[in-house]
Amino acid sequence: MHTAAVNLSASAADPDPDPDSLHRSVKVSIIITLGVMITVGNVAVLLVITSSVAGWSRSSRYFLLSLTAADSAFGLLVMPLNLWVSLLKDYTAGPDVLCHVVAFCNATIYSTCMYTLATISLERYIAVFYPLQYSSLMTRRRTLLLIAFAWCFPPCLLSPISFPDGIIEVHFSTASLVCNPSYSTNVGYSLSLTCLIFFPCSVIMTYANLRVWCAAKRQRLKLRQYDCARRSRHNVASRVLVPVMAAYYTCWTPCMAAMIYNAVSGSSVPEWIEFVVVWLPTSNGFLNCIFYFWINRSFRRKFYLVLQRLTFALCPKLADTFECCNASKTQFVSVLDNNNAVHGRSSSVSSTCTLLSLA
């Protein structure tokens, strides 16, 4: 009896942790970490592209600003809203107005991000294959219209999700900690969303980036024939375009496949698989910072300059410390910049002529 009483008191003092509570804590930690990474990365990007970056046209900056805003919304809007609902909502309660609003915001930002990626691919395609007509094709008005379409069309298309008594039912998923539309009850609407958002954007991105990659590969092969020294150059197209497309399909395809599976079969995927496929597209908001920006040398140089100015503004004493060193290096850097500008212009002319001949 004494032994049994000791064992009972020990088990009462050290109860087994609730598996659901442990899983939920791990999920919340993952979401918060991912949100911080996305926010910090895109804030650094905004500090740079709000000013001029060498080699980037005005239209390119507009599209990249739109992409950065869409990616930032993952960390500043999607994740806080869903975490807020997960803390406040009673899981036994049915759908409510708040869950419908959050689900509408989730779907809108996801769709806007895909449309923005598609417009960037289209803009790069025009810049490579129609360089002489680029200024007339990608005017400021057309650029803003494409950006407005990427931001305004998804809310119009997804507006039925926002109505509590509408045709789309919304529930809070304890597996993914997200307010999700019940696609299984509206198969036709679910499939139409996939056909109007994911597949068109995927086709545009795949076609445009594949054509640019093939043109860059042919250009590289031609340059090898006339200049053996260029054989040691890195394949810039493969280093940028291949990771961009690989990250896009890796992040978005599982989510779309799970949505179609839920709509057709009427059953849900396992808990952790649902969590991964639902939150995986948000990681594309952090990967875009790497593939679209940090690989670019001009962006890195501009970021170091902006960071240096911010450091000197926060700590003026550092400016006095480095003033002597900067003065001694000014002439040397100026000479290097002039030489790089000459080589950059000649390289740009050569690349443009080669791409024109390939096209």
- Per-residue pLDDT of 319-330, as tens digits, reads 555 554 454 444
216 pLDDT band, cuts 50/70/90, is confident
**Helices of type H across 50-78:** 58-73
Q: Please check the confidence at residue 132 and state whether its pLDDT lies above 80.
A: yes
CB atoms inside a 10 Å sphere around CB 186:
18
Q: Please check the confidence at residue 204 and state whether its pLDDT lies above 70.
A: yes
Q: Please check the confidence at residue 290 and state whether its pLDDT lies above 90.
A: no
Least confident residue range of 183-192, 209-218, 241-250, 342-351: 342-351
* CB of 165 closer than 8 Å to CB of 97: no
- Per-residue pLDDT of 27-43, as tens digits, reads 889 999 999 999 988 88
- Per-residue pLDDT of 135-164, as tens digits, reads 888 899 999 999 999 999 999 988 888 887
Handedness of CA 6, 12, 18, 22 (dihedral sign): negative
Q: Please check the confidence at residue 10 and state whether its pLDDT lies above 60.
A: no
Q: Please give the mean pLDDT across all residues of the chain.
A: 76
Residue 322 Cα distances to 46, 124, 308, 317, angstroms:
26, 40, 11, 9
Residue 221 Cα distances to 60, 215, 227, 302, angstroms:
27, 10, 10, 31
Q: Please check the confidence at residue 244 and state whether its pLDDT lies above 60.
A: yes
Distance of alpha carbon 314 from alpha carbon 332, whole angstroms: 27
Sorted by where each begins, the domain ranges of the chain are 20-298
More confident call, 96 vs 261: 261
Cα–Cα nearest to 226, from 352, 359, 356, 354: 354
59 pLDDT band, cuts 50/70/90, is confident
Distance of alpha carbon 116 from alpha carbon 109, whole angstroms: 10
Residue 68 Cα distances to 45, 125, 156, 347, angstroms:
7, 20, 22, 29
Q: What percentage of the chain has pLDDT greater than the value 70?
A: 72
Q: Please check the confidence at residue 353 and state whether its pLDDT lies above 70.
A: no
Question: Looking at domain 20-298, which CATH architecture does it have?
Answer: Up-down Bundle (1.20)
Angle at 250 between CA 247 and CA 252, to 5 degrees: 100
pTM of the model: 0.77
Q: Please check the confidence at residue 24 and state whether its pLDDT lies above 80.
A: yes
* CB of 100 closer than 8 Å to CB of 165: no
Q: Which residue in this structure is represented by tokens 């399909």?
A: 249
